[in-house]
Structures are given as structure tokens and as C-alpha cells.
Amino acid sequence: MTPIKHALTIAGTDPTGGAGIQADLKTFQELHVYGMSVLTSIVAQNTMGVKDIHHLPIDFIELQLQSVIEDIYPHAIKTGMIAQKEMMALLATKLGSLQNVPYICDPVMMAKNGDPLLEKDVRSFLRDTLVPLATIVTPNIAEAEDLIDMKIDTLEDMKKAAERIIHELGAKYVVIKGGSLNGEATDVFYGKSREFHILDAPRTDTKHTHGTGCTFSAAITSELAKGIPIFEAVKKAKQFTAAAIAHSLNIGHGYGPTNHWAYRLNASSN
């Protein structure tokens, strides 16, 4: 039997279980990798919005990370909600010192309803510290616009933005998620091979998309932990997330969560 691979998420929490650390761990489990987590911020949020955020002290985030790495070395690492400059600086140092571990940077900036998850004025610091270290960075349209300070209205704009993220910011690969553009669910993948790939999946007409971005980047992380080539990993993540959205859950009073086991249902009916 192939030894199990280990994936680590470094992110904030969602007590309703749909986004953040909780969505990441559910995704790792569904995709058969051993999931581990380092908490950065504890977020009092639900499907309706964010009530308050408690940031953990930097030295305690460092201690969690050290505890994981000295014991169960991760085969891939993702970051989600990294809210403060000091957290970004710590992670840049730590992630920069790990050799050959794929790093998936989900540049989380806000919750689905628009509530901010990052402290003010730290977005450019995210762009300058964590994005350049990324094997792949996974912005949605608003995050991509913010990272390279350009308006994105069309697929051509998405391609231009992808080129700029690679050539100006230094990540190796990028996938820009077009879920919020023109009612499509078309994503653009681009990277050091300088080839564009367009990823399409049927768009589900639902408001229950809480945690889709976390789920997508955690699925990429799972596949990269297994050693799957990067574009294959992104394609699998796209299918996994599309299924999770197609079977999303009408629970809670706001933007309901996705269904992390939907891909398993699809696979068993094939």
C-alpha cells in the first residue's frame, strides 16, 4: 500500500464548518490525504457574516508550526486567511526555508458576504511576502484585481492578470477563479510554461457557496501532496469543487456551505 501523504493548512477558522481550516480538513480527508492544521486566527463567523476575529500571538503560531513540522513533515502546505503583517513575515521565513514542499497560497481577503478577513493595509504585504514563494496562487477576480491593481472584466483581462501575477509577482503558477465574472465558472491557469489553460465547469445557480475558495485550494493541496502534476491537480480540484457546489447544502441562514462529500457520490455512480 502507498504510504499516506500529509497536507498542512495554515489558516483561520469557521465554527460553522463551511470555510477556513474546517473546509480544508474536510477536503483533505475526502481526497485521502492526512490533514493537519495550524490556526492563525479564530473567527466568530457563520453563513451570514463575520462577527469578530481573535488573532493568535505570533510566537504561538510559530510553536504550532514547529510542532507539526518536527513530527509529521507535510508533503504540501496551503495558506488561507493570514490576517496580519507579522503573520505573513513569520510564514514567509518558515515557508521559504522548506525545501521541495509545494506551497499553495490562497490570498483570502474577505468572506463571501464581503466582510474583511485581513487587517487594513496588509494586502500589498501579502503580495510581496507570500505570493512570490507560491508554487501556485489561487485568487478570485477581486483578489487578482487587488494583487496587480488592474480591473478585470473579461476572459482576456483574466489572462493578462495571470501573466502579470507570474511575471511581476513571482509565483510559479496561478489559477484565477472566474466564479464571480459574467455568470460563468471559467478559471484561467497559467504558469512558468507560459501556456494558458481554460478550466470550465457547469455553473450551478446557487447562493450556497460559502467556502468554495478554501475547498478549491485545499483540493489542489491534496493532489500536490500526492505528487500529481500541477495542471492535473488543478483540474481535479475544479471537478471536486464543482461537485461540492452542485450539491451544496441549504443550511444556515445566509450563504450555505458546499458539500464536501459530493465528489465521492459522483465517483461511486460512475
Interface contacts to ligand ATP, rule CB under 6 A:
140, 142, 177-180, 185, 187, 201, 203-204, 206, 209, 212-213, 216, 238, 241-242, 245
81 binds ligand MP5 (CB under 6 A): yes
Minimum CB separation of residue 256 from ligand ATP in Å reads 12
| Member of 212, 221, 241, 248 binding ligand MP5 (CB under 6 A) | 212
DSSP the chain: -PPPPEEEEEE---TTSSSHHHHHHHHHHHTT-EEEEEESEEEEEETTEEEEEEEPPHHHHHHHHHHHHTTS--SEEEE----SHHHHHHHHHHHHTS-S--EEE----B-TTS-B-S-TT-HHHHHHHTGGG-SEE--BHHHHHHHHT----SHHHHHHHHHHIIIII--SEEEEB-TTSTT---EEEEETT---EEE--PPP--S--BTHHHHHHHHHHHHHHTT--HHHHHHHHHHHHHHHHHT----SSSSPBP-TTHHHHHHHH-
13 binds ligand MP5 (CB under 6 A): yes
| Member of 12, 17, 179, 191 binding ligand MP5 (CB under 6 A) | 12
43 binds ligand MP5 (CB under 6 A): yes
Dihedral sign (CA 228, 31, 6, 18): positive
Instruction: Decide whether 5 or 255 has the Cβ nearer to ligand MP5.
Output: 255
80 binds ligand MP5 (CB under 6 A): yes
244 binds ligand MP5 (CB under 6 A): no
> Which of the choices ligand ATP, ligand MP5, none does residue 264 contact, using the CB cut-off of 5 to 8 A by kind?
none
87 binds ligand MP5 (CB under 6 A): no
111 binds ligand MP5 (CB under 6 A): yes
Minimum CB separation of residue 217 from ligand MP5 in Å reads 8
214 binds ligand MP5 (CB under 6 A): yes
Task: Round to whole Å and give the CA distance between 52 and 22.
Answer: 17
Q: Looking at residues 136 to 195 of the shown chain, list those that interact with ligand MP5 (rule: CB under 6 A).
A: none
Minimum CB separation of residue 23 from ligand ATP in Å reads 11
Instruction: Decide whether 142 or 267 has the Cβ nearer to ligand MP5.
Output: 142
The pairing of strands 76-79 and 6-11 is parallel
**Contacts to ligand MP5 by CB under 6 A:** 11-14, 19-20, 43, 45, 80-81, 108, 111-112, 117, 210-214
